[in-house]
Amino acid sequence: MTQPAENNIIKLETIDVTAPIASDTRPVDGYNAISSTTATKTDTKLLDIPQSISVVTQDIIKDQSVQSVAEAIRYVPGVQASQGEGNRDAIVLRGNATTGDFFVDGVRDDVQTYRDLYNTDRIEVLKGSNGMIFGRGGAGGVVNRVSKEAGWDPVRQLTASYGAYNQRRIAGDLGQSLTEDIAFRLNSVYENSNSYRDGVNIERYGATPTFTIRPSDNTKVVIGAEYFKDKRIADRGIPSANGAYNDVNSRKPFNLGDNSAFFGSSELSPTDTETFAFNAMIEHQFNSGINVKNRTRWANYNKFYQNVFANSSVANDGTFAVSAYNNATNRENVVNQTDLTYTAKWWGIENKLLTGMELVSQDTKDLRMAGFFNNDFTSTGTQVNLNANNTTQIGNMPVSFRPNLVNSNSPFSDNKSMVDTVGLYVQDQIIFSPKWQAILGLRYDKFQTNVDSIKKGTTSGTTVSENFDVTNNLLSPRAGLIFKPIEPVSIYANYSISYVPRAGDQLTSLTLSNKTFDPEKFTNYEIGAKWDVNSNFALTSALYILERANVAITDPQNSTQSILVDGQETRGIELGFSGNITEKWSVFGGYAYQDGEITKQQGNGANAILKGTQLAQTPKHTFSLWNRYNINNMWGAAIGVVSRSDMYAQLPTATQSAVLPAYARLDAALFAKLTQKLRLQVNMENLTNENYVLTAHNNNNIMPGSPITGRVTLSYDF
C-alpha cells in the first residue's frame, strides 16, 4: 500500500542566512563601473549617487598604459592635472587647485608626493564638495585610489615596458590562496627612465604585500603594507615670454623651438620621496543586520626636494631670473575610521543608515633653505642671459643652500606642527519608493592645529618665532534627492559644503595676522542625470555651481596684513560616457564646460585681481574620447583625443598674465594576444607631434608636452 505523500516529506534544519561580506576585489569589468563606496561610504550604484563621479577602471589603466594619477585623469571630464612644481601630484577640480585631496581606499593620503599606480585597481574621481564624507578639503572634489586586494583567484602576471627616451619599467602582480581562509598578494614595481626634457630622469621602486583573511562568512580582515621610493629631477618647465615676444597682458610660454630645454639647473634639482605605510581593515556583518567596518592607516613620509628654476619671464634682451631653494619634510599620518551601517524599513520606507567616527593625527617637521648664487649671500637670485650663450642652465655657477635672513620673499623656515582631527558623521540613504530616493547627511569636525615654531627671514636679517594653537569646529551638511522615472535612469539634485582650514601644507604661509582666520568655505549646488543604457554602457550629465568664500588676500591698505573676501565661483556642465557601445567597441571620456571667475575685485592697483577674471588652469572647454575596438580574438586597436581651450597659467592680476594655448592631442594603441598567456601592447602619444603645453604651476613654470612618443609593453601570465 502506498504511503501518503506527507509521510515522504523530509524536514530540514532551519538555517539563518545573512548576507556575506563581498569578497570580489574587482567589481568592475571593462570600461564601465556599476557601483562605488567613495561618495557614500556604502556600496551604492553610481546611478543612485546624486553627484558627478568618474571611475577609471583597471581595463582603462592597462589599455592606456597609465602609470600615474596625472595620466589616469586626462580623459576624465572637468579635471586638470597641474604641475606641482615638478615634485608632487597636483590637480584642479572645478577651478580649485589642490595637492591634499588624495585618498586611498577612502582614507586620507595627505602628503605632497607622486603616486604610482602599480598597486591600484581603479581610480574614482568624485567632483564637487563633499565634506560630509571626507571632512576637511575636497573643495572641488577628491581622487580616491582603490587598492588591489588579495583574493582566492590566482594572479600571476609579469609586465615589462620599454619606451622612447629610454623609458624602462617592470612590474609584478602575484596572488593566490594560502588556505581556505587566507589569501596573499604581492604587487611590485621598478622603473628607471629618462625624459624628453634635458637632464630629467626618474628612478622608482616599490612593493605592496597584502593578506585577506576570512575567519567566517561574516568577517573579513585585510592587512597590507607598502614601501615606495621615488627619485627624480624636479622639473618646473619653461618660463613665459615678455617684452618683444608678447605684450605684457597676453604673455605666452617662451619658445626656443626646443621643448627639451631646462631653465635653471637639472643637476641641482633632485627630489627624493620615501613612503612607509601600513593598512588594516576589519569588517563584520552581525546577524542583526548591523555592519561594522574599521580602517586604520599609518604612513610615514620622508621627502627632500631642491629647485633651481626660472623665476621670471624671458625679457626682450633674453635674460631671465633664476632662484633656488630646498625643502626637507618628514610627516607621520595616523588615520582611523569606524563606520557602522544598518538597513531598516520603517513605515514602508527603506533606510540605509550610516554613522561613524574618524580620528586623524598628523605630525609634520619641515625645513626650508634658500639658495645663494656665486657666493653672494645678499641676494637669493641671479640672472641668466639666453642671448649671450644660448643656454638655459646656470652651468658651473656655484650655489649654496643656507638659512635666508636677507629676503622675506624667500624665507627660511623651520616648522613643527601637529594636526589632530575628530570627525563624527551620520547619513541616511532613504528609498521612499522605486522612483524616489534621498540622501541626508551631516558631519562635525574638530580640527586642531598646534604650531611649535615658525622661523623666517625678515628684511632686517632676524628671525621671528611664532607659537600658537588654532581650533576649527566645522559642520558639513549634504542633501541629495533622486528621481528615477524608469529603473535605468536617475535625475538628481545635490547640495553640499566643504571647508579648507588654514593648516597642514598651508602652515608655511601662516602669520600671526591671519592665524585665526575662518577656513575657506566651498558650497556645491548640482543637478544631473544618469542613464545606464545597458548593463555595460552609461551616460552621465551634471550642471553645477561651486561657490568659494573666505579667500585670504593681501590687505590693499596694509601689505603686511591679510583680509578675507568672498567672490569666486565656477559654473559648469559635465557630460560623461563609459562602457561598451557594441560587443567589440569600448569608449571612455566626456566633455566639460567650466566658467570659473572672480565675482568681486580682490585688492587694488597693479596687484589687483579684477572682477570677471577667469580662474587659473580652468579651461572653458575640454573634450576627451578614448575608443578601443577588438578586431578579432587576437588583435585590437585604440585611438584617443584629448583637447582643451586656452587657459591662464595662474590667477592673473590687473597687469600681467600668461595664457596657455589651446590644443588637441591624438593618442593610439595596438593590442595583440600572441598566446593564451602572452600579450603585446604598443601605445603612442601625440601622434601628430603637436607643440603644446601639458601643465603649469604659474606664469614662469610651464611644462611643454612631449613630442610624439611610444611605449611597448609585454604582459605574461604564468
According to the model, what pLDDT value does residue 516 have? 53
Q: Which letter does DSSP use for residue 69 in this model?
A: H
Residues 6+ apart with CB under 8 A from 654: 605, 606, 607, 608, 609, 610
How high is the pLDDT of residue 226? 97
Residue 426 is predicted with a pLDDT of 98
User: Is residue 504 classed exposed, middle or buried when 0-12, 13-18 and 19+ CB atoms within 10 A define those classes?
Assistant: buried
Please report how many Cα atoms fall inside a 13 Å half-sphere around the Cα of residue 178, on the Cβ side: 13
Residue 469 CA to residue 90 CA, distance in Å, equals 28
Question: How confident is the model over 670-679, as pLDDT tens digits?
Answer: 999 999 999 9
**Residue 3 predicted with pLDDT over 80:** no
* 458 has pLDDT over 70: no
pLDDT > 70? residue 27: no
pLDDT at 654 over 70: no
At 395, list the grid cell.
652651468
**Is the sign of the CA dihedral 595, 601, 605, 608 positive or negative?**
negative
Q: Please give the average per-residue pLDDT across 506-519, as a whole number.
A: 52
Contacts made by residues 200-205, CB under 8 angstroms, sequence distance 24+: 200/232, 200/233, 200/235, 200/262, 200/266, 201/232, 201/233, 202/230, 202/231, 202/232, 202/233, 203/231, 203/232, 204/114, 204/116, 204/228, 204/229, 204/230, 204/231, 204/232, 205/229
Average pLDDT over all residues of the chain: 87
Mean pLDDT of 638-642: 97
Averaged pLDDT, 489-503 = 91
**Count of other CB atoms within 10 angstroms of residue 258:** 10
Pairing mode, strands 102-104 and 141-147: parallel
Quick one: cell of 566? Answer: 568672498
Which pLDDT score is estimated for 24?
43
Percent of the chain with pLDDT over 90: 65
Q: What is the mean pLDDT of residues 364-382?
A: 86
d(C-alpha 29, C-alpha 39), whole Å: 20
How far from 72 is each of 67, 198, 565, 649, CA to CA, in Å?
7, 25, 35, 22
Confidence of residue 557 (pLDDT cuts 50, 70, 90): low
Range with lowest mean pLDDT among 49-63, 418-432, 607-621, 702-716: 607-621
Residue 550: band (very low, low, confident or very high) from pLDDT cuts 50, 70, 90: confident
pLDDT of 505 reads: 54
Q: Residue 4: what pLDDT?
A: 47
pLDDT, average across residues 47-61: 96
Which residues on adjacent β-strands are paired with residue 268?
A: none
Q: Which amino acid is at 540?
A: T
pLDDT at 553: 62
Backbone angles phi, psi at 379, to 5 degrees: -145, 140
Q: Tell me: the pLDDT tens digits for 141-155?
A: 999 999 999 999 999
In the DSSP assignment, the letter for residue 68 is B
CA distances (Å), origin 105, targets 90, 120, 275: 19, 10, 17
pLDDT value of position 384: 87
pLDDT at 552: 67
Q: Which of 431-440, 611-620, 660-669 has the lowest mean pLDDT?
A: 611-620
- Mean per-residue pLDDT for 273-299? 96
User: Which alpha helices (DSSP H) does 480-614 contain, by range?
Assistant: none
Classify each residue of 361-383 as buried b or exposed e, where b means 16 or more C-beta atoms within 10 Å of its C-beta. Answer: ebebebbbbbbbbeeeeeebbbe
Alpha carbons 488 and 501: distance in angstroms, whole number:
40
Confidence of residue 53 (pLDDT cuts 50, 70, 90): very high
pLDDT attached to residue 6: 46
Round to whole Å and give the CA distance between 110 and 662: 32
> Which residue in 132, 116, 180 sits closest to 152, CA to CA?
180
Residue 113 has pLDDT above 80, yes or no: yes
pLDDT grade for 139, boundaries at 50, 70 and 90: confident
Residue-range domains of the chain with CATH: 35-717 (2.40.170.20)
- Encode pLDDT of 379-435 as tens digits: 788 888 887 666 788 888 889 998 776 655 555 677 888 999 999 999 999 999 999
Each residue of 155-179: b (16+ CB within 10 Å) or e? bebebebebbeebebbbbbbbeeee
- More confident of the two residues 503 and 163: 163
Task: Say if residue 111 is exposed, middle or buried (CB neighbours under 10 Å; 0-12, 13-18, 19+).
Answer: buried
- pLDDT greater at residue 250 or residue 497: 497
Q: In this model, does residue 14 exceed pLDDT 50?
A: no
Query: What mean pLDDT is predicted for residues 47-73?
Result: 95
> What strand order describes the sheet that includes 79-81?
79-81, 91-93, 96-98
Q: Determine the pLDDT at residue 393.
A: 85
Average pLDDT of span 592-602: 89
Give mean pLDDT, residues 171-176: 97
Q: Is the pLDDT of residue 489 over 70?
A: yes
Choice between 655 and 568, residue whose per-residue pLDDT is larger? 568
